């Protein structure tokens, strides 16, 4: 029987790269996402799921178990962003971001945890952000949620350790995804700058290495952390950020 992995938000970007990598390692991969691809990509089975809704998560996981068995690997990757000064930040946007980024991580982890304990093995990887360790203005909900993910991961790592479960977090900086490229293009047009100027002066200003991270680099880190080579690594948070947040 194939090993079973769930990757949330795997329709595109970082999640798609992670899912593709796990498929190459003979995992049966399921994508939990509200925005589903028209066809299942590179052998990934997509399941419509609002990760902020407990009933939806339980239903989606029941489908995974019916089709392939309990999950050995969970990658919490769903993400979204909204920026606003705190005094103007709409509560519904706060609730949305906290719901997807933090509550979603909790609910998906909760869904698989009992099976991982029963089977004496499990790997949970959270895709947080360098903003899980530091802050930027106008990102109150995002930064709060990403910090929360790191704290939650440490608790889960402690509870899972005696059952052979490891829980780790990856904290990327700016990653070369279609969404990122759209943001770069917008800044180029808005400020009459070249792509290099936008990257160096806007997005990568705080990075020592002035280049976007490729999604495959995040996928490679996931590959290592789910392997037996990382069996004694747990409760850690790894930056992939070109030096941004160095030492944190």
Local structure of 112: helix, strand or coil: helix
Instruction: Give the pLDDT score at 129.
Output: 96
Hey, where are the domains in the chain? 3-175+213-240, 176-212
> What's the whole-model pTM score?
0.95
Tokens of 169: 């977090």
pLDDT of residue 40: 74
- The pLDDT assigned to 1 comes to 57
Q: Within 13 A of 1's CA, how many CA atoms are on the CB side?
A: 10
**CATH superfamily of the domain spanning 3-175+213-240:** NAD(P)-binding Rossmann-like Domain (3.40.50.720)
- pLDDT tens over the chain, length 248 residues: 579 999 999 999 999 999 999 999 999 999 999 988 876 778 999 999 999 999 999 999 999 999 999 999 999 999 999 999 999 999 999 999 999 999 999 999 999 999 999 999 999 999 999 999 999 999 999 999 999 999 999 999 999 999 999 999 999 999 998 888 888 898 899 889 999 999 999 899 999 999 999 999 999 999 999 999 999 999 999 999 999 999 88
* Residue partners of 201: CB distance under 8 A and separation at least 6: 193
Q: Are 147 and 129 in contact (CB under 8 A)?
A: no
Of 30, 113, 142, 152, catalytic: 142
Question: How many Å apart are CA 229 and CA 153, to the nearest integer?
Answer: 20
CA distance 164 to 160: 7
Integer Cα distance of 141 and 144 in angstroms: 5
- The Cα 26–Cα 17 span in angstroms is 15
**142 catalytic, yes or no?**
yes
């Amino acid at each position: 029987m194939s090993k079973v992995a769930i990757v949330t938000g795997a329709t595109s970007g970082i999640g798609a790269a992670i899912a593709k990598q796990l498929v190459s390692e003979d995992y049966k991969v399921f994508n939990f996402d509200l925005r589903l691809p028209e066809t299942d990509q590179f052998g990934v089975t997509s399941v419509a799921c609002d990760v902020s809704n407990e009933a939806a998560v339980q239903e989606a996981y029941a489908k995974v178990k019916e089709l392939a068995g309990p999950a050995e690997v969970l990658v919490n990757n769903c993400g979204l962003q909204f920026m606003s000064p705190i005094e103007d930040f709409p509560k519904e946007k706060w609730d949305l971001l906290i719901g997807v980024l933090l509550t979603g991580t909790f609910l998906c982890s909760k869904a698989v945890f009992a099976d991982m304990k029963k089977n004496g093995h499990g790997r949970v990887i959270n895709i947080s952000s360098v903003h899980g360790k530091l802050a930027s203005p106008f990102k109150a909900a995002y930064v709060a949620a990403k910090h929360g993910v790191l704290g939650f991961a440490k608790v889960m790592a402690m509870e899972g350790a005696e059952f052979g479960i490891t829980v780790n977090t990856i904290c990327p900086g700016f990653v070369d995804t279609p969404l990122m490229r759209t943001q770069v293009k917008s800044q180029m047009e808005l400020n009459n700058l070249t792509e290099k100027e936008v990257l160096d002066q806007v997005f990568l200003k705080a990075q020592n290495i002035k280049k976007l991270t490729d999604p495959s680099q995040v996928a490679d880190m996931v590959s290592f952390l789910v392997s037996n080579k990382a069996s004694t690594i747990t409760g850690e948070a790894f930056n992939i950020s070109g030096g941004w947040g160095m030492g944190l």
